[in-house]
Chain A
Amino acid sequence: MFGDYSIGDLGAIFAMQGFAGLILFSVYVLMALGLAIIFGQMGVINMAHGEFMILGAYVTWMTSNAFQSFLPALFPGYFFVAMALAFIASGSLGMLVEWAMIRRLYKRPLDTLLATWGLSLILQQAYRSVFGAREVGVELPEWMMGSWQATDAIQIPINGMFVMCLTILITIVVAYVLFLSRWGRQVRAVVQNRVMAGAVGINTEKVDRYTFGLGCGIAGVAGSAFTMIGSTGPTAGQLYIVDTFLVVVFGGAASLLGTIASAFTISQAQSTMEFFMSGSMAKVLTLLAIVAILMMRPQGLFALKVRK
């Protein structure tokens, strides 16, 4: 298939393809981070993760409309405000859900699967009733559209680079919060031994609530960012949920580094194979490979060594 092309052409395509892989990698990390916290650190199987993302997307859409009507001059910068609002909205909803539902289920982690799945259906229908069944189009400021012309032949999508920067930033913040801050130590203590953590004076309920809220908030930011590349509709969250769980489980549920490594592996495999074969076949092969690897390493790529 490469016979007719010059070296320059091929070089440009491979450079762009490399970026396509990196962009996919960032997208995977961004959508999986929130779940890695909730599922990995707290053990809650949050099937409503996609719906928390879509809440962020709807918040972005509303912010964009508000800016267009009331503050058209500031429209180019609205996206940053929208992401902050998306974090607050999804995070608050997450804390509310934790208080009303999840906290009663910590002793029955499998039941969280059913409860959050029900929650996802409720949220989908709520979005449909409030925002309508049709997809909404989120208008982007001019500077975020189009591509950056690196050389004559190489074009890199600007929104892709934006997602990459955002992902790096959020990953650093999450890593800091979980591993270096005092609060992160409390989170890990609660996860490892709830009773003991309570006994040494950690307010476990509060820690749970904020952790769940943080995970949902990050999902909201991810949803906000994905308005640039995907659709915003009541059921759009379902598009992400399978890939999200795939990344988290494949990486080893409790490990943040694992999530990142697994996102990298899956995205590179997927985007390389998509280049050489059809999208459907690439997906099939990726899934087969993951199944095979998980059979050999059921705990995922990276697992915490815990004394049993």
Chain B
Amino acid sequence: MNGVLMSDETEKGLKSPLRRQLLMGMAALPALTMLPRPSFGAGPATSAVNTTGLAVTDSEVTVGILHSVTGTMAISETGSVQAEKLAIEQINAAGGVLGRKIKYIQEDGASDWPTFAEKAKKLLVNDKCAAVMGCWTSASRKAVLPVFEQYNGMLYYPTFYEGLEQSKNVIYTGQEATQQIIAGLDWVNKTKGAKTFYLLGSDYIWPRTSNKIARKHIEGHLQGAKVVGEEYFPLGHTQFNSVINKIKLTKPDVIYAIIVGGSNVAFYKQLKAAGIDMSKQTLLTISVTEDEIDGIGGENIAGAYACMKYFQSLDNANNKAFVSAFKKMWGEKTVIGDVTQAAYLGPWLWKLTVEKAGSFDVDKVAAASPGIEFKGAPEGYVRIHENHHLWSKTRVGRAKADGQYELIYETADLVEPDPFPKGYQ
């Protein structure tokens, strides 16, 4: 039921940027009357849907957006902010949530974790936001988690991350580590016959935890496979010639790279310059989305494989509509990476959950979350698991010189999220 309703609404929602364009052109004015106009204020009584004093009026509901738009992390978080604003605009165009228009308050975490905590408190305590879409790094999530638990808020967190966490107050719309790692390793082992792996990463919790899971899987579950090297580099490291020589010496079947930020760009440029030909040397990464390729340059990474749940090039109706709406709103040149798509899911999942719960109350929303399915997801279809993570497919794509990924493989079924994987810790 929910699903049927959904796809209908998605369609309407996607007409919204189109409507804006029509508004701009006087000649098209008559056509405007033919489009559905959302009317707000027709939903159930406020006293019934809001018993805990959230910022909900008869015609409006307030949510928060909490990302870094300044500082180091702005580079990554900008896409998430854009996706969340797009989703909110589409939901409003389709009639809002429980007959109420979504109004958002945006705060800047400024790439600084204490600032995130402070702004989270402001959004929950002063602004009484019914839900918050936000955070990107694990550090920022860890900083706001106690705030959300203390003041009973609802956070929709978009980034793929290392797992080992679960909270009533958070919905994790990105993949936890096993969802991103295991299927990719199985694939490269089966189709490329890969036996030897060289693990690389930036030196902080996400790459280290992910490589730990990768190592356990390679050594414990893949026949005859072994790890021939494992290395970490300080964040911001820009010189990779030495490790590239080491890779040349060990000749691994697969380079497994989880390098992030500015280091990423240096790594791929130097790999290319050192004459490593990605059509012969398999490289699998879980940290390079279309966003990062923008900085790396498609010609430097063409031929590498990435394991994600979403690629901009996915060929399905939801995604085509999403990509064109995104580009209409934010410009033809913007690219959409895995996390941007996951951020887009946040407002939609929240809307569906609120409608299922029939209430904005955080406790009811948290309780109603498991089982919520979103059939309009650009990645295809997602469902919220009991543990507040998403069931979603794992996909492998191959980078092309134009900066896009070409889908090579996807799991047949949705992969179950498992934030506390047994035997992998």
Interface residues of A (CB under 8 A from B): 5, 9, 13, 16-17, 19-20, 23-24, 27, 125, 128, 132-140, 145-147, 149, 155, 157-160, 226, 228-236, 238-240, 270-272, 274-275, 278-280, 282-283
How distant is A146 from chain B, measured CB to nearest CB, in Å? 6
Q: Which of B120-128, B229-237, B375-383, B390-398 contacts A (4 or more CB under 8 A)?
A: B229-237
Question: Is the beta-carbon distance between A5 and B78 smaller than 8 angstroms?
Answer: no
The interface size of chain B toward A, counting residues with CB under 8 Å, comes to 47
Question: Is the beta-carbon distance between A239 and B273 smaller than 8 angstroms?
Answer: no
Query: Please, how many angstroms separate the alpha-carbon atoms of A135 and B79 in the complex?
Result: 12
Question: Is the beta-carbon distance between B70 and A230 smaller than 8 angstroms?
Answer: no
Question: Is the beta-carbon distance between A230 and B74 smaller than 8 angstroms?
Answer: no
Q: Known contacts A5-B249, A16-B248; decide if A137 and B241 are in contact (CB<8 Å).
A: no
Listed A/B pairs (26) with beta-carbon separation below 8 Å: A16-B245, A20-B241, A27-B239, A128-B74, A133-B74, A134-B78, A135-B265, A136-B295, A137-B293, A137-B298, A146-B273, A146-B275, A155-B274, A155-B275, A158-B273, A160-B241, A228-B269, A229-B266, A231-B261, A231-B296, A232-B295, A234-B74, A235-B75, A275-B246, A280-B203, A280-B232
Question: Is the beta-carbon distance between A145 and B272 smaller than 8 angstroms?
Answer: yes
Query: Please, how many angstroms separate the alpha-carbon atoms of A231 and B293 in the complex?
Result: 11
B295: contacting residue among A23, A233, A282, CB under 8 A:
A233
14 further A-B contacts with Cβ under 8 Å, apart from A23-B241, A279-B203, A279-B237, are: A16-B274, A20-B244, A132-B78, A136-B295, A146-B275, A155-B275, A230-B265, A231-B264, A231-B295, A270-B239, A275-B245, A279-B231, A279-B233, A280-B232
B262: contacting residue among A146, A233, A272, A283, CB under 8 A:
A233
Closest B residue by C-beta to A128: B74
Question: Is the beta-carbon distance between A135 and B273 smaller than 8 angstroms?
Answer: no
B270 at the A/B interface (Cβ < 8 Å)? yes
* Residues of chain B from 116 to 136 with CB closer than 8 A to chain A in the complex: none
Q: Known contacts A5-B249, A135-B265, A275-B246; decide if A147 and B274 are in contact (CB<8 Å).
A: yes
Query: Please, how many angstroms separate the alpha-carbon atoms of A234 and B69 in the complex?
Result: 12
Query: Please, how many angstroms separate the alpha-carbon atoms of A1 and B248 in the complex?
Result: 13
How distant is A127 from chain B, measured CB to nearest CB, in Å? 11
B242 at the A/B interface (Cβ < 8 Å)? yes
How distant is A4 from chain B, measured CB to nearest CB, in Å? 10
Question: Is the beta-carbon distance between B75 and A135 smaller than 8 angstroms?
Answer: yes
B294 proximity list for chain A (CB < 8 A): 134-137
B72 at the A/B interface (Cβ < 8 Å)? yes
How distant is B266 from chain A, measured CB to nearest CB, in Å? 5
* Residues of chain B from 290 to 310 with CB closer than 8 A to chain A in the complex: 291-300
B38 at the A/B interface (Cβ < 8 Å)? no
B243 at the A/B interface (Cβ < 8 Å)? yes
A229 proximity list for chain B (CB < 8 A): 238-239, 266, 269-270, 273
B273: contacting residue among A128, A145, A270, A283, CB under 8 A:
A145
Question: Is the beta-carbon distance between B245 and A17 smaller than 8 angstroms?
Answer: yes
B53 proximity list for chain A (CB < 8 A): none
Chain B window 244-283, contacts with chain A (Cβ cutoff 8 Å), 1 for yes, 0 for no: 1110110000000000011111100110111100000000
B297: contacting residue among A17, A24, A137, A233, CB under 8 A:
A137
How distant is B260 from chain A, measured CB to nearest CB, in Å? 11
A24: contacting residue among B70, B232, B239, B248, CB under 8 A:
B239
Query: Please, how many angstroms separate the alpha-carbon atoms of A185 and B249 in the complex?
Result: 50
How distant is B94 from chain A, measured CB to nearest CB, in Å? 29
Question: Is the beta-carbon distance between A13 and B249 smaller than 8 angstroms?
Answer: yes
How distant is A90 from chain B, measured CB to nearest CB, in Å? 19
Query: Please, how many angstroms separate the alpha-carbon atoms of A147 and B275 in the complex?
Result: 5
Question: Is the beta-carbon distance between B236 and A157 smaller than 8 angstroms?
Answer: no
Q: Known contacts A134-B291, A135-B262, A136-B294; decide if A275 and B242 are in contact (CB<8 Å).
A: yes
Query: Please, how many angstroms separate the alpha-carbon atoms of A134 and B273 in the complex?
Result: 23
B233 proximity list for chain A (CB < 8 A): 278-280
Give the 4 A-B CB pairs with smallest separation, nearest first: A135-B295, A231-B265, A20-B241, A147-B275
Q: Known contacts A274-B243, A280-B232; decide if A146 and B272 are in contact (CB<8 Å).
A: yes
B146 at the A/B interface (Cβ < 8 Å)? no
Query: Please, how many angstroms separate the alpha-carbon atoms of A9 and B71 in the complex?
Result: 45
A238 proximity list for chain B (CB < 8 A): 72, 236
